[in-house]
């Protein structure tokens, strides 16, 4: 179900609505395909993937909700629009004996776009959302914060009074990943796998990537000592879920390992969805608290993120090493 996770904190003053009321609210923003001259359309679809199924799935006795947002976009290359604008401008010049001005060319661009949209190909995508009502966490299966924002905007409009904020940890993921690589001692529930990306902080922005390669080596420690920062690190939690942790706290390449779905092989159709949903929410519902704790716990309002704790010693990390880069997406 989920391949990525971007995690948000749900404000404590928001109370979940009744499922029937939420279903009706989501139905008012259900997905409708793009119209002929519409560049994009997005809306809710059943997470179960079956027509007329609920738009919100309740799992674990109501402790978890699953939603699915569908997005459809018209693919209209800028070069095609430009070519059509040039054709229209040439026609004006031929018939009126003048070249269109800047303002008129802008109007021609809008006209060309509306003319070409009905003939454009469409691309569809979907985002999964998981609300852990017990822990008051919202997770979006998106590859970037920008993609998640589309889903969050519609969700907040559908759930009256909901307020969300990126979940910040007391120590930056980059700081903690650097310490794990230097010390070779992640928390006992986690193990470091064989994939990592290190990026320098200087103007060269040099990058070193390891894939299917041991990371408990002097070479890796030397790169960190020279100022390179870990931006991606492959981890396994409890021998059950593997993922890649990024410098901004996103989880990518989620993979449930052998044995997690054992005993579910005979499930089909609705039973298969229910079983998968229960396992997913159960496993990830235990992984996230362990990861937050490994990153120093959740940062409390008004308290700056710590540069100590899990950080490696000054002798190991260079004086210029900045464990708190400005993130371009939620830091976790």
Asked whether residue 52 falls in the same domain as residue 141, the answer is yes
Is residue 63 located within the same domain as residue 26?
yes
Residues 46 and 182 in one domain: no
Q: Is residue 1 situated within a structural domain?
A: no
Please indicate, yes or no, whether residues 99 and 179 belong to a single structural domain of this protein.
Answer: no
Written as one string, the DSSP assignment of 185-219 is ---TTEEEEEEEEEE-SSTT--EEEEES---SSHH
The pTM of the full predicted model, rounded to 2 decimals, is: 0.81
Domain range for 189 is 173-294
Tokens, residue 332: 């976790």
Number of domains in the chain: 3
Residue 316 within any structural domain of the chain:
no
Q: What is the largest CA-CA distance in the chain?
A: 78
Token duo for residue 246: 């990024």
Co-location of 22 and 128 in the same domain: yes
The pLDDT tens digits along the chain (332 residues) read 799 999 999 999 999 999 999 999 999 999 999 998 899 999 999 999 898 899 999 999 999 999 999 999 999 999 999 999 999 999 998 998 889 899 999 999 999 999 999 999 999 999 999 999 999 999 999 999 899 998 999 999 989 889 999 999 999 999 999 999 999 889 989 999 999 999 998 877 899 999 999 999 999 999 999 999 999 999 999 999 999 999 999 999 999 998 887 766 555 556 889 999 999 999 999 999 999 999 999 987 656 655 433 333 332 333 333 333 344 444 45
CATH code for position 140? 3.30.310
Q: Is residue 285 part of a domain?
A: yes
Q: Which residues are within 8 A (CB) of 263 and not within 5 positions of it... i.e. 6 or more apart?
A: none
């Amino acid at each position: 179900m989920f391949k990525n996770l971007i995690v948000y904190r749900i404000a404590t003053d928001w109370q979940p609505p009744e499922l029937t009321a939420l279903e009706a609210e989501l139905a008012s923003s259900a997905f409708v395909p793009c119209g002929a001259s519409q560049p994009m359309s997005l809306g809710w679809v059943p997470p179960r993937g079956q027509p007329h199924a609920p738009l919100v799935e309740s799992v674990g006795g109501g402790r978890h909700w699953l939603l699915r947002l569908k997005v459809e976009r018209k693919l209209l290359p800028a070069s095609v629009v430009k070519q059509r604008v040039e054709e229209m401008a040439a026609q004006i010049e031929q018939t009126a004996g003048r070249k269109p001005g800047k303002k008129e060319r802008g109007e021609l661009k809008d006209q060309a776009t509306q003319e070409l949209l009905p003939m454009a190909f469409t691309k569809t995508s979907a985002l999964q959302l998981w609300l852990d009502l017990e822990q008051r966490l919202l997770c979006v299966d998106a590859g970037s914060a920008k993609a998640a924002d589309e889903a969050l905007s519609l969700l907040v409009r559908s759930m009256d009074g909901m307020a969300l904020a990126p979940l910040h940890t007391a120590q930056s993921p980059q700081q903690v990943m650097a310490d794990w690589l230097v010390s070779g001692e992640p928390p006992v529930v986690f193990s470091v796998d064989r994939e990592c990306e290190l990026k320098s902080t200087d103007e060269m922005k040099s990058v070193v990537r390891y894939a299917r390669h041991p990371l408990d080596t002097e070479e890796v420690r030397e790169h960190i000592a020279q100022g390179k920062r870990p931006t991606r690190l492959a981890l396994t939690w409890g021998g059950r879920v593997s993922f890649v942790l990024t410098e901004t706290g996103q989880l990518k390449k989620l993979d449930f390992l052998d044995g997690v779905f054992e005993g579910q092989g005979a499930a089909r159709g609705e039973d298969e969805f229910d079983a998968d949903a229960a396992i997913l929410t159960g496993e990830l519902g235990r992984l996230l608290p362990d990861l937050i704790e490994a990153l120093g716990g959740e940062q409390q309002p008004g308290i700056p993120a710590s540069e100590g704790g899990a950080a490696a010693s000054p002798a190991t990390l260079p004086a210029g090493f900045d464990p708190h880069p400005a993130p371009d997406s939620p830091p976790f």
